[in-house]
Chain A
Amino acid sequence: MNFHQMTMVQLAEQLRNKSVSSVELTQYFLDRMAQFDGQINSYITQTPDLALAQAAVADARRAAGEDGLLLGMPLAHKDIFCTKDVITTCASKMLANFKAPYNATVVEKLNAAGMVTLGKVNMDEFAMGSTTENSAFGVTRNPWSLDAVPGGSSGGSAAALAAGLAPVATGTDTGGSIRQPAAFCGVTGIKPTYGSVSRYGMIAYASSLDQGGPMAKTAEDCAHLLSAMAGFDERDSTCAEGARPDYVAGLNDSVKGLRIGLPKEYFGEGLSAEVKAATMAVAAELEKQGAVLVEVSLPNTSAAMPAYYVIAPAEASSNLSRYDGVRFGHRCDNPKDLKDMYTRSRSEGFGAEVKRRIMVGAYVLSAGYYDAYYLKAQRVRRLIKQDFVNAFDQCDVILGPVAPTPAWKLGEKTADPTAMYLADIYTIPVNLAGLPAIALPAGFSGGLPVGVQLIGNYFSEPKLLNVAHQYQQATQHHIQMPAAFA
């Protein structure tokens, strides 16, 4: 059986009807990881012993009569989620030996559902980046073209999925870090409404923007995984209270009458012709199914990138002040005094992009600049949110590209951080507004996948998953695999 070509829902059926045990399925993916991961470096840590032990427990639970869609299902965790039994590096030298004293809430919930941890996957250091090149553990390569980036920061998650080295994975999205790698690697991923998924044990980058979410082959798989990940958590002070919506129940609803907004600012200068064509083809397919297309405007779109690169580094400089060499993480050798210990531990432990963002953050928060940069960016942030609020008066969901182009070559943008930042223009506004958005495969350009995103109103994940699922029922892009890994 080619289990790596199956969706999670299909694999769950195999487990349920006892065609395969969790131990066998886990071993199948562990074997593929051993065979293929050398080519793409998607895993920082592989955990075969833990995985097989968890799988055996899952098989015993099933034998005892328990049933559950996620019971015994292997997955990969982005190495930003704290795991008590496995090192959590956040792709940083700072945390190269960090064994968290506790599990992230997301990990606890997925463990409780009986999921099996195959390992921890690569990312940009502290989730700061769009290519996974900012990892202290080497770059991850795009399975569709080994000299292209997989996107980032959840590039390891996306690459592992595309290469069939995990059926599903967790990711996090602060400025596009689930959606953009999903688009670059031809997989599906949803960034939920801010506060839907607990941030407890998810190593902080920019706390008012960070949000965890599922990545998988299909929207349907994402719906099932999100159902297990989301929920109120007392231990996350910004977690949304109350029950979460049912992410699965409406998947098969018709899109007839659905109003799809096309924001004119997302189709202007800078967008490649192929990505534009793929996005319009998605619109045409949904229109064929009965949806109605309407033009909307998000006039402050171009201000989102600068606002984000003020707010996110400001929060990062504050969050990353905890890495001081005192309580955990890297400490330099032979510090001559306390200040030397702080400075050298941090300078040795952090990579260039992380240091850059800490310094930008320190600058925009410093006396004399706080109002002009930080408060100003927070005011612009409200304008960006208001743009979406206004647009959702005219439409139910918004459709647009994820990134202006398909994946670029490794090393192509590393010398120029500002060029890299510009590639985030379509994903960042969603994080600033705190809205949910799903990225899904929409075709290919020059052999590389192209993704589109559907953006919804607050807590409208069921609608986004429904529309994406309806699109995937009628199309084949999401089930393609790169030939070298098929």
Chain B
Amino acid sequence: MSDQIDVHKVARLGALAVSDDEVAAVGQKLNAILGLFDQLAAINTDGVEPMAHPLDQVQRLREDVVTETDIHEYVQQIAPKVEAGLYLVPKVIE
């Protein structure tokens, strides 16, 4: 079942960089991991619902009321770069 993994593609999906020197070694380990998954295909799961929560609990709903005060200054103390209450990042549009 498992195809050979495209390391650059999965790295891009994960917003990670893999250098050209590392591609072969990383790819070999990822392929070994994907190889483990082949036995899943052999298991009959016809009519079995996917399970996302062990107790099949659904999300609770609460009243739509304000529960948090404005703490942006406090929370932004740990941000790498902030100005006027905004998170600063490199320029996006030239």
CA distance A356 to B40 in the complex (A): 20
Given A208-B54, A363-B5, answer yes or no on A99-B78 (Cβ-Cβ < 8 Å): yes
Residues of A near B10 (CB, < 8 A) are 359-360, 362-363, 366
B13, B16, B32 interface centre (most CB from chain A within 10 Å): B16
Across the two chains, which residue of chain B brings its CB closest to A195? B55
- A317-364 contacts to B (CB < 8 Å): 317, 321, 324-328, 331, 335-344, 346-347, 350, 355-356, 358-364
Interface size class of B (residues with CB under 8 A): 35 or more
Choose one: A99, A237, A331, A383; the contact of B45 (CB below 8 Å): A383
B54, B74, B91 interface centre (most CB from chain A within 10 Å): B54
B36 at the interface (CB under 8 A from A): yes
Q: Tell me the dominant secondary structure on chain B's binding face.
A: loop
Q: Map CB proximity to A onto B10-23 as digits: 1 under 8 Å, 0 otherwise.
A: 11011111000000
CA distance A300 to B14 in the complex (A): 31
Asked if A303 and B59 sit within 8 Å, CB to CB, the answer is: no
Residues of A near B32 (CB, < 8 A) are 416-418
B80 at the interface (CB under 8 A from A): yes
Q: Tell me the dominant secondary structure on chain A's binding face.
A: helix
A382 at the interface (CB under 8 A from B): yes
B50 at the interface (CB under 8 A from A): yes
Q: Map CB proximity to A onto B40-67 as digits: 1 under 8 Å, 0 otherwise.
A: 1101010011111111010110100000
Residues of A near B91 (CB, < 8 A) are 337
CA distance A385 to B38 in the complex (A): 21
Residues of A near B51 (CB, < 8 A) are 378-379, 381-382, 385
CA distance A434 to B57 in the complex (A): 12
Asked if A338 and B90 sit within 8 Å, CB to CB, the answer is: yes
Given A340-B90, A356-B29, A421-B36, answer yes or no on A347-B13 (Cβ-Cβ < 8 Å): no
Choose one: B16, B41, B57; the contact of A346 (CB below 8 Å): B16
Given A309-B36, A340-B90, A350-B16, answer yes or no on A194-B50 (Cβ-Cβ < 8 Å): no
Across the two chains, which residue of chain A brings its CB closest to B76? A327
Asked if B50 and A195 sit within 8 Å, CB to CB, the answer is: no
B34 at the interface (CB under 8 A from A): yes
CA distance A118 to B82 in the complex (A): 33
CA distance A327 to B30 in the complex (A): 30
Asked if B40 and A310 sit within 8 Å, CB to CB, the answer is: yes
Given A240-B57, A379-B49, answer yes or no on A303-B39 (Cβ-Cβ < 8 Å): yes
- A360-393 contacts to B (CB < 8 Å): 360-364, 366, 372-373, 375-383, 385
Asked if A309 and B33 sit within 8 Å, CB to CB, the answer is: yes
B1 at the interface (CB under 8 A from A): yes
B92 at the interface (CB under 8 A from A): yes
Residues of A near B54 (CB, < 8 A) are 194-195, 208, 385, 432-435, 458
Distance between B8 CB and nearest chain A CB, rounded to angstroms:
10
Choose one: B26, B34, B90; the contact of A335 (CB below 8 Å): B90
Choose one: B40, B52, B81; the contact of A376 (CB below 8 Å): B40
Asked if A326 and B36 sit within 8 Å, CB to CB, the answer is: no
B89 at the interface (CB under 8 A from A): yes
Asked if B90 and A341 sit within 8 Å, CB to CB, the answer is: yes
B84 at the interface (CB under 8 A from A): no
Residues of B near A342 (CB, < 8 A) are 15
A81 at the interface (CB under 8 A from B): no
CA distance A431 to B24 in the complex (A): 33
Distance between B52 CB and nearest chain A CB, rounded to angstroms:
6
Across the two chains, which residue of chain A brings its CB closest to B82? A327
Asked if A359 and B40 sit within 8 Å, CB to CB, the answer is: no
Choose one: B43, B52, B57; the contact of A380 (CB below 8 Å): B43
CA distance A257 to B38 in the complex (A): 42
Residues of B near A182 (CB, < 8 A) are none
Residues of B near A306 (CB, < 8 A) are 36-40
Asked if B92 and A338 sit within 8 Å, CB to CB, the answer is: yes
A226 at the interface (CB under 8 A from B): no
Distance between B28 CB and nearest chain A CB, rounded to angstroms:
11
Asked if B48 and A382 sit within 8 Å, CB to CB, the answer is: yes
Choose one: A358, A373, A432; the contact of B37 (CB below 8 Å): A373
Given A338-B89, A343-B16, answer yes or no on A238-B57 (Cβ-Cβ < 8 Å): yes
Cross-chain pairs A/B with CB under 8 angstroms, 16 sampled = A195-B57, A302-B39, A303-B40, A338-B92, A356-B33, A358-B14, A359-B11, A363-B10, A363-B13, A379-B50, A416-B32, A418-B32, A418-B36, A421-B36, A434-B54, A458-B54
- Residues in chain A within 8 A of chain B (CB atoms): 98-99, 101, 194-195, 208, 234, 237-238, 240-241, 300, 302-303, 305-307, 309-310, 317, 321, 324-328, 331, 335-344, 346-347, 350, 355-356, 358-364, 366, 372-373, 375-383, 385, 416-418, 421, 432-435, 458
| Given A303-B43, A306-B37, A363-B30, 15 further pairs, Cβ under 8 A | A101-B71, A101-B78, A327-B79, A341-B89, A359-B26, A360-B33, A362-B13, A366-B10, A373-B40, A376-B40, A379-B48, A380-B43, A383-B48, A418-B36, A434-B55
> Which 8 residue pairs are nearest across A and B when measured between Cβ atoms?
A434-B54, A378-B50, A362-B13, A379-B45, A331-B80, A382-B51, A358-B14, A359-B10
